[in-house]
Amino acid sequence: MNLVLNIAHRGASAYCPENTMAAFRRAIELGATGIETDVQMTSDGQLVLIHDESLQRTAGSPRLVKDVTLEEAKQLDAGSWFDPAFAGERIPTLGELLELVKPREDVYVNLELKNSIVNYPGLEEAVIEEIRRQGLGERIIVSSFNHYSLVLCKELAPEIRTGVLYVEGLYEPWEYAARIGASALHAHHRAVLPEWTAQAAERGIVYNPWTVNEPAEMKRLLDAGVASIITDYPDRLAALIAEAGAQANSAN
């Protein structure tokens, strides 16, 4: 049970503005052993961490990420929308996040490539270059709803794991994952059953469901044998994992 990764969705996004350094730092403080974030590209080819294609919701600008430079993006306030206490938080770069986790060998990173709506030419190459520059390939999994992008990532960097993002209803998804070289299924949590995790495991494929915030559902998934859980509340999941570990130790 202790091997289950506790992946903070956009950082500790229940407590801090999502996809900010404050959220990433808080996630680690709350016991996260992984951080999930979204990667997009600015007009000058820089990798930034933000979920929406538009800057409006989290940074107050009507422009699209693809239409601003990194310098312009860095001038925006990415914290005040969540709470005035976070005024001045900036949109981080991929490099900034990787520098944060690099000394923490117990922390992994799930990079979701946000290229299903906006096509970012060269995004895969740029992400892989930064991962390799930081020497963190073994602690990264790249996911996307754009599965062509995942195939390209495996062609460019066979050593970096990929995860198939989908909602539900994909028949025998472990067969599909194996076909495109992915090592994980990033399914909506309702699309995860114990018999499916067992069948996936036979193909060497693991489940990393998203986004799970209720303790009862976290426990169901832990019992179902998932490898990771992606959550806005890493503290809740950390408590459950610790409880399960204590029970296992007492039973031995």
Catalytic residue flag (residue 186): no
Angle (CA) 137 154 227, round 5°: 60
Those residues whose C-beta lies under 8 Å from the C-beta of residue 70, and which sit 6 or more positions away, are 42, 44, 46, 48, 93
Q: What backbone torsions phi and psi does residue 190 show, to the nearest 5 degrees?
A: -70, -15
Those residues whose C-beta lies under 8 Å from the C-beta of residue 65, and which sit 6 or more positions away, are 40, 41, 42, 48, 50, 52, 53, 54, 55, 73, 118
CA trace torsion 77, 81, 87, 93 (10° rounding): -40
Catalytic residue flag (residue 51): yes
Those residues whose C-beta lies under 8 Å from the C-beta of residue 111, and which sit 6 or more positions away, are 37, 39, 94, 127, 131, 140, 141, 142, 143
Distance CA 110, CA 161 (A): 10
Q: Identify the sign of the CA torsion 169, 123, 38, 81.
A: negative
Task: Choose, from 51, 147, 186, 189, the residue flagged as catalytic.
Answer: 51
Distance CA 132, CA 96 (A): 14
> Where in the sequence numbering do the catalytic residues fall?
9, 51
